Amino acid sequence: MYIFLDPLCSACWDLQPIIRKLQVEYGQYFTIRTVLSTQLNKLNSFCNKQNEQILKSKCDFSDLEHPVLPSIAVKAAEFQGKRAALRFFNKIQEHLFLKTKNVTSFSVLIDLAKEVNIDVDEFTIDFQSKECARSFQNDLSITSEMQVTSFPSIVFFNENIEDEGIKVSGIYPYEIYVQILQEMLYEEPQKQQPPTLEKLFNRFHSLTTSEIACYYNISEQQAERELKKRLLLQEVERIVLQDTILWRLK
């Protein structure tokens, strides 16, 4: 599965629980390649705005602010591992859509990198590197080659290279993605049992009560009771962000 995301796209945030559920229930059947992109007008304005000094390692990025920066920053985080990059991506969206921080600011992105335990010195070097620029350019090339023009989009491929991929733009009910998976496999996929709550947190870093209830097929009230037990044991922490409550391992 190629998943095309723009960190600043609200629909990409809405897609996250669906992708996570697919991973929990049918993750044995597919791998995910996340492709970061941005609207072309954002990229063009960034390129026009910055002069050659912005590409030099001695340039001070602390005051830099632009909508394309989160995508480049996630690519820089990938140099410290895909899990670190995923945690960083989720943290960016968390603060963006809960309106707690301006994630288009490089100084804020540095703060978020610290929150998810990314090595900030290495991150800053990678952000300015040619390797990071090439990595982001590669994602843009894949986006163009697969004719993806809106976010989020998912392109499904199977192991038969002669079969065409199936592109799905936008967000649909969860059952639609399971049906596409079945079509690509030529058989009905077998749902696997969810992992332990600890493994879920280790994988996704932070989860909502509704997500946990959905994975374990229990009510939100039951999920909250279980989470509160763990809260009392100081195994998890509860983060209140506006109207959303997130849980994560302490």
207: domain CATH number? 1.10.10.10
Which one of 155, 189, 223 terminates a domain? 189
| Distance linking the first and last C-alpha atoms of the chain | 32
pLDDT mean across residues, the chain? 88
- With respect to residue 26, please indicate whether it lies within any of the assigned structural domains: yes
53 occurs within a structural domain: no
Domain that holds residue 220: 197-249
Residues 134 and 20 reside in one and the same domain: yes
CATH (domain of 32)? 3.40.30.10
Mapped onto helix, strand or coil, the DSSP state of residue 201 is helix
Residues 177 and 206 in one domain: no
Residue 26 has pLDDT above 60, yes or no: yes
Q: What is the pLDDT of residues 90-112, one digit of tens each?
A: 899 888 877 778 999 999 999 99
What is the per-residue burial (b if ≥16 Cβ within 10 Å, else e) of 137-167?
Answer: eebbebbeeeebeebbbbbbebeeeeeeeee
Question: Is the peptide bond prior to 7 cis by the omega test (within 30 degrees of 0)?
Answer: no
pTM of the shown model:
0.85
Within a domain: 152: yes
Is 55 a domain residue? no
